[in-house]
């Protein structure tokens, strides 16, 4: 179990503990102690030092507003502005370091996603040199998860489709650092009535809020399985949480996972 709590200014007090307790209430368990990214900055610093030794990172003095002004249009994804390389060959006069960026190469990163199929992206064209340590201090998500996955032997990454665009960057960092590349599976997102993805930014409340998980937890687990294209038998409606999870582990069919996004029905 890994708690990705690097973005400390945006942490909501008590929510991390609520997440852990909710998962436990639904029958989930994990090996060993919980890993907190906020306590692993030494490991990320060591990886950054290794990238610097290889000449693959450099300080950047550009603000996000400045990059938006200079970049004529987004490249690849609508919300991703390509960094134009203003500081690639050294900071301009009067600029001071704000962030640390990794140099990318002009070649495609290609992988096979278990749900989305073949994905290929040229980082130089889509995002340019990307940030590995932010201006406000924290290490970037891209670097932290790569270091953690490698250290803890993660060989399968299963996550939401909104993070599909992060994968080529992470594979690039894995190659630079000499890490093994895990398999990737990106699941369809749960959306609200308006079709937009449900996010912690939108009315962030606990899954357990207003619910009796002892009574409703089985319905939640079965709804999640059906959302992922699985067909649990009706006999599981009265089963324990552990029995539902065991059935899912034994009978899960990755080929049945839909690519589409949609609302999640709890019935």
Domains in the chain and their CATH numbers? 55-187 (3.40.50.620)
pLDDT at 79: 53
Distance CA 184, CA 186 (A): 7
Distance CA 228, CA 188 (A): 8
pLDDT at 69: 81
pLDDT tens, N- to C-terminus, the chain (267 residues): 999 998 877 778 888 999 999 999 999 999 999 999 999 999 999 999 999 999 999 999 998 888 888 765 444 454 568 999 999 999 988 888 989 999 999 999 999 999 999 999 999 999 999 999 987 789 999 999 999 999 999 999 999 999 999 999 999 999 999 999 999 999 998 887 766 766 655 555 677 777 788 888 999 999 999 999 999 999 999 999 999 999 999 999 999 999 887 666 543
Per DSSP, the three-state class of 186 is strand
Distance CA 51, CA 177 (A): 7
Contact at 8 Å (CB) between 172 and 146? no
Task: Please give the angle made by the CA atoms of 112, 28 and 189, to the nearest 5 degrees.
Answer: 40
Residue 60 has phi, psi (to 5 degrees) of -125, 135
Cβ within 8 Å of residue 238, ≥6 positions away: 218
| Unique residue bearing structure tokens 């973005």 | 7
Edge-to-edge strands, sheet with 130-133? 57-60, 99-102, 130-133
Strands 108-113 and 117-122, bridge-based pairing: antiparallel
pLDDT at 78: 43
pLDDT at 201: 57
């Amino acid at each position: 179990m890994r708690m990705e709590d690097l973005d400390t200014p945006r942490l909501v007090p008590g929510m991390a503990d609520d997440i852990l307790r909710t998962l436990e209430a639904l029958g989930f368990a994990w090996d060993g102690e919980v890993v907190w990214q906020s306590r692993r900055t030494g490991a990320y610093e060591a990886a950054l030092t290794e990238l610097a030794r290889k000449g693959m990172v450099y300080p950047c003095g550009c603000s996000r507003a400045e990059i938006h002004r200079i970049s004529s249009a987004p490249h690849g994804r609508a919300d991703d502005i390509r960094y134009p390389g203003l500081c690639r060959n050294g900071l301009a006069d009067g600029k001071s370091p704000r962030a640390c960026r990794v140099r990318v190469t002009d070649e495609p990163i290609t992988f096979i996603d278990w749900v989305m199929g073949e994905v290929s992206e040229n980082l130089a064209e889509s995002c340019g040199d990307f940030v590995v340590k932010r201006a406000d201090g924290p290490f970037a998500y891209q670097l932290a998860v790569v270091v953690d996955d490698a250290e803890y032997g993660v060989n399968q990454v299963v996550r939401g489709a909104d993070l599909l665009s992060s994968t080529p960057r992470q594979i690039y960092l894995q190659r630079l650092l000499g890490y093994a590349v895990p398999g990737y599976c990106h699941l369809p997102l749960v959306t609200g009535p308006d079709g937009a993805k449900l996010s912690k930014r939108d009315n962030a409340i606990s899954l357990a809020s207003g619910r009796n998980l002892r009574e409703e937890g089985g319905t939640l687990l079965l709804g999640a399985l059906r959302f992922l294209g699985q067909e649990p038998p009706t006999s599981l409606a009265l089963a324990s949480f552990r029995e539902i999870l065991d059935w899912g582990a034994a009978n899960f069919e990755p080929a049945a996972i839909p690519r589409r996004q949609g609302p999640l029905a709890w019935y």
